[in-house]
Amino acid sequence: MIDEVAIAKLIILTAAFCCYVALRHLPSAKRRLRCALAIGLVLATTASVLAYFNFGRFQGSWGLVHRWEQFHFYMGSKYLTEIGYDNIYRASIVAVAERTQRFPPGRMRDPISFEIVSTQIPADEALAVRARFSPERWKEFQHDLHFFITNKLPGRKVLIDHGNTGSPAWAIFASGFTELFGANRLAVNIYALLDPVLLLVFFVFARRVFDLPTACAAACICLLAPRAYSYLGGSLLRLDWLFAAGMSLCLLQAGRFKSAGGFLGYAVLSKPFCAVIALALGAHFVYDAIATRRIERDNANLVITAVLVAVAVALFSSLLFGWEIWPRYVERIDTTLTEGYYNGQFSLRDVVLQFAGGDLSPVPKAIAAATTHPSDALILWVARIAVGGALLAMSVRKEPMFSFGTGVFLIFAFLVTNVYYWQMLALPIFAATAFREKIKTTIYGCGIAGILAFQLAWKALGTPFRLDGYIGSYAIACFIATSLLAAFVTALRRRQTSADSDTRIYR
């Protein structure tokens, strides 16, 4: 079945990057032509905003609001002190049983172990869950839960999801909103608009720091990422980490290193995979210190501020939600990292294991990562270290911004992330401006657009969802391989040019 929305997104992406390329490489064009191209790029970006919301095809009868997401993240943030990371489903079942005098039959997932267990909760366990609430908070919990249930929250299926994944740092800000109002239609619609507002603020600020083509191209990449809205649209502050990481990159470009460090410190605590971006930036600072034999004050300010902000946020969230909250969150994240394969994941793992198994097709009949053997672990880690090392070697000699953007691809190399997080591809678009040659910036940006174009074309054809994650992984892996090859060839040419120059001087 043809997917019209994906086709429209592909057309918008193509139009946007045609304008992006023309604006970068027609500096001497007539003023009217450049004005027309700029208007075209702005119009394509505006169309991307409409496309992000699936042109009005929302999540269901709640319009902007994603009921499934709002249940997990509204309840998970407001009652984090009482339910932690392991009792969102148990507390909901106990609350329902208290009204109906019986536990609803069925299955649920334990959000810490990820095991599927029965909804028949022993009496002592039910009492322990209930005892974590004060009488007033229990009534409030029941009221909010009743709102979601009576407003057509998906039934028993919601109980086999993975619970609340927001970190304690995220919960500080999310609970600041959810504690204000009980669950009602107006409140959840306001919460559904928080992420779009954050993106708007981010890209308005980015436009002040970067030129129009860069800011618009990055916005299009972020907004046209396949399936991002389907999963996260209408949720509650699920893009705070992207806002924080993006602001950090913009502030780094603006030379405001302390502010950049503060946003980066929060981004790491909000979404731990942002620590890989911080690692890439740190590697650049270490290389710079070794090469120059001194530590730049700006670099030190960024690192110190990031650490101080991260420590302060961790301490404050522990005081707010209890000292056991971070250990429980770490336990939950550890389970996520060891979880088996499922559709909609992006990782170098999927491509490496597929190739190791001898299936070189971009459209395999089965995904090797779903049935991988423990003996493949060595192959995978050798590949990860090789690709990660090559990416770092490519990035550390360039501007710190480029290392920041390279951190996005290190996430792909070392971790497994869900498809909806890959709005982060907007960050390397900004980072590509660190290239001295304008043509390299353009090619790099268009290569990132090609990752999305490949996925959108796949989706437009109505092809099987079971391969979406692998197709995305394949596209990113091809981009990384091409980038590394280009960097290697460039380095060889420079070395050869340097050798020829030395030879002429010697003669």
Please give the full DSSP string across 319-345, using - where no structure is assigned. Answer: HHH-TTHHHHHHHHHHHHHT----SSE
pLDDT of residue 506: 47
268 part of a folded domain:
no
Token pair of 256, please?
């405001």
Residue 18 and residue 479: Cα distance in Å, rounded?
19
8 Å CB contact between 212 and 5: no
- DSSP letter at 105 equals P
404-416 per-residue burial string, b: 16 or more CB within 10 A, e: under 16: bbbbbbbbbbbbb
Domain boundary among 175, 192, 209: 192
212 part of a folded domain:
no
Residue 80 and residue 102: Cα distance in Å, rounded?
25
Per-position DSSP letters for 413-450, written without gaps between them: HH--EEGGGGGGGHHHHHHGGG-SSHHHHHHHHHHHHH
235 part of a folded domain:
no
First-to-last alpha carbon distance for the chain, in angstroms, is 69
79 part of a folded domain:
yes
**Chain centre distance of CA 115:** 25
223 part of a folded domain:
no
User: Which residue type occupies 474?
Assistant: Y
38 part of a folded domain:
no
Residue 207 and residue 394: Cα distance in Å, rounded?
27
Work out the number of other CB atoms within 10 angstroms of the CB of residue 34: 15
290 part of a folded domain:
no
Number of domains in the chain: 2
Residue 229 and residue 137: Cα distance in Å, rounded?
32
- pLDDT less than 50: residues of the chain: 502, 506
Per-position DSSP letters for 239-300, written without gaps between them: THHHHHHHHHHHHHHTT-HHHHHHHHHHHHHHSTTHHHHHHHHHHHHHHHHHHHTS--HHHH
pLDDT of residue 469: 87
Domain boundary among 192, 208, 233: 192
Domain range enclosing 179: 67-192
Tell me which residue of 467, 473, 452, 447 sits closest to 11, measured CA to CA: 452
Cα-flanking dihedrals φ and ψ of residue 162, to 5°?
-110, 20
pTM of the model: 0.93
pLDDT of residue 98: 84
pLDDT of residue 102: 65
Domain boundary among 139, 164, 192: 192
pLDDT of residue 463: 76
Q: What's the chain's average pLDDT? A: 89
| 3-state SS assignment for residue 107 | strand
84 part of a folded domain:
yes
Tell me which residue of 212, 117, 191, 210 sits closest to 147, measured CA to CA: 191
